[in-house]
Structure 1
Amino acid sequence: MPTPEQEHVATALGRHYAADRIDADELDRRLDLTFGASLADALAGLPPLGPAEAPRRRRWGRRHGEADVAQPTWVPTKERFIDPGSQRVMRVWVDPADHRRHYVPES
């Protein structure tokens, strides 16, 4: 079970990823640090974040749980899978407000 500090850092990393400040490989590296022993190193070198943006309205036509981009409040996980329908690599994100899982294509 992640600590509140780890969840906070993972959320911040997810926001940096959603803002295109880090790529998927860097997100993975920093998540390893977050859930390892070095929380301070996980956010090293990243600029401060402003307030979280309001979630965008969901477009119809995607599959259940699929989103174009991760929302700033979602927490990234290390979990990925290949979507059998599109053959895209999808990362799993969790919304801490309701614990729902969301699937965002990796770029």
Structure 2
Amino acid sequence: MPTPEQDRVATVLGRHYAADRLDASELDRRLDLTFGGALTEALADLPPLPSEAAARKRRWGRRHGEADAAQPTWVPTKERFIDPGSDRVMRVWVDPADHKRHYVPD
């Protein structure tokens, strides 16, 4: 079970990924560091994030649970799959407010 601090760092990393500051492989590497306990190293060299208000714009995809981009408050998981309808690789994100899963092209 992740600690609250690990959840916080994963959320920050998710916001950087959603802002296109990390690619999928770098997000995976930093999540491994986070859940391995290297929280400071996981956040090293990341620039400041945009304001929360600027990142609240939500656009949904055509399929249930699919989003064009991850929202800043969502927490990324290491879970990915190939969507059989589009053959795209999708990453699973979780909204900590309601625990809903969201699927974002990776």
Does TM, scored on the shorter chain, surpass 0.5? Answer: yes
User: Contact 2:58 / 2:71 at 8 angstroms: preserved in 1?
Assistant: no
**How much does 1:62 deviate?**
1.1
Structure (1 or 2) with the greater helix fraction: 2
Cα root mean square deviation, aligned: 1.4
Partners of 1:102 and 1:86 lie apart in 2 by: 16
1:103 maps to: 103
Partners of 1:24 and 1:9 lie apart in 2 by: 16
Structure 2 letter corresponding to 1:9: V
Runs of 4+ in 1 over 4 A off after TM superposition: none
1:55 maps to: 56
Give structure 2 stretches of 5+ with no counterpart: none
Structure 1 letter corresponding to 2:92: V
Structure-1-length-normalised TM-score:
0.91
Structure-2-length-normalised TM-score:
0.92
- Write out per-residue CA displacement over residues 14-55 of structure 1, whole angstroms, 9 at most, x where no aligned residue: 100111111111000000000112011000000132432353
- How many correspondences in the alignment? 105
